C-alpha cells in the first residue's frame, strides 16, 4: 500500500512538473511570437517609417537591418548561456531587452531607434534558443 501511495506521489509531482514545463513553454512561445512580429512588422511600414524618421527607404532599411547585427552574434552567446544558466534565468532579461528595444524604437529618434533594433535582435535570439533548449532537455528532441 505504501508503494502505491509513493507511486501516486511521484505521479502527482510528474504531472505538476509537466504542467510547469507546458506553461513555461507557452510563455516562451508567446514571447517568440511577439519578437517575431517586432522583427517582421516594420517591413510593411516602410513609407510611414521613412516619413517619421525623415529618411529614405534605403536608410530605413539599413536601420531596420541592425536587428540582425544583434541577432547573429548573440546566437552564439545564447546557446552557451542556455547551457550554463538555463532559460529560467535568461528569458526574463531577454524579454526586458526586447521591450526596452521596442520602447527605444518608438521614440522616433533615429539613434535610439537603431540601438533599439539592436536590443530587439540581441534579446530576441534568447527566446528561440530557450524553446530549443527546453525541447532538447525535456523531450530529447534534437532541434
What is the structure's pLDDT at 71? 93
- Of 7-16, 80-89, 92-101, the one with minimum mean pLDDT is 7-16
The count of domains in the chain is: 1
pTM: 0.79
Find out whether 35 and 124 touch, Cβ atoms under 8 Å: yes
How much of the chain exceeds pLDDT 90, in percent? Answer: 44
Q: Among 24, 44, 37, 7, which residue's Cα sits nearest to residue 90?
A: 24
Q: How far apart are CA 138 and CA 34, in angstroms?
A: 24
Task: List the domain range (segments joined by +) for residue 63.
Answer: 2-139
Question: CB-based contacts of 100: which residues, under 8 Å, 6+ apart?
Answer: 116, 119
Q: How far apart are CA 133 and CA 131, in angstroms?
A: 5
Please report the DSSP string for 9-45 in residue order: HHHHHHHHHHHHHHHHHHHHHHHHHHHHHHHHGGGGG
Mean per-residue pLDDT for 75-80?
A: 90
28 band by pLDDT with thresholds 50, 70 and 90: confident
Q: How far apart are CA 126 and CA 94, in angstroms?
A: 6
Amino acid at each position: 500500500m505504501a508503494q502505491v501511495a509513493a507511486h501516486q506521489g511521484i505521479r502527482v509531482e510528474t504531472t505538476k512538473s509537466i504542467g510547469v514545463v507546458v506553461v513555461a513553454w507557452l510563455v516562451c512561445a508567446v514571447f517568440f511570437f511577439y519578437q517575431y512580429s517586432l522583427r517582421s512588422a516594420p517591413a510593411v511600414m516602410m513609407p510611414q517609417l521613412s516619413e517619421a524618421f525623415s529618411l529614405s527607404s534605403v536608410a530605413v532599411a539599413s536601420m531596420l537591418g541592425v536587428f540582425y547585427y544583434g541577432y547573429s552574434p548573440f546566437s552564439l552567446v545564447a546557446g552557451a548561456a542556455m547551457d550554463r544558466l538555463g532559460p529560467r534565468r535568461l528569458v526574463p532579461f531577454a524579454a526586458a531587452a526586447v521591450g526596452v528595444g521596442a520602447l527605444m524604437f518608438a521614440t522616433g529618434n533615429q539613434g535610439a531607434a537603431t540601438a533599439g533594433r539592436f536590443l530587439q535582435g540581441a534579446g530576441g535570439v534568447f527566446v528561440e534558443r530557450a524553446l530549443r533548449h527546453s525541447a532538447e532537455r525535456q523531450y530529447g528532441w534534437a532541434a
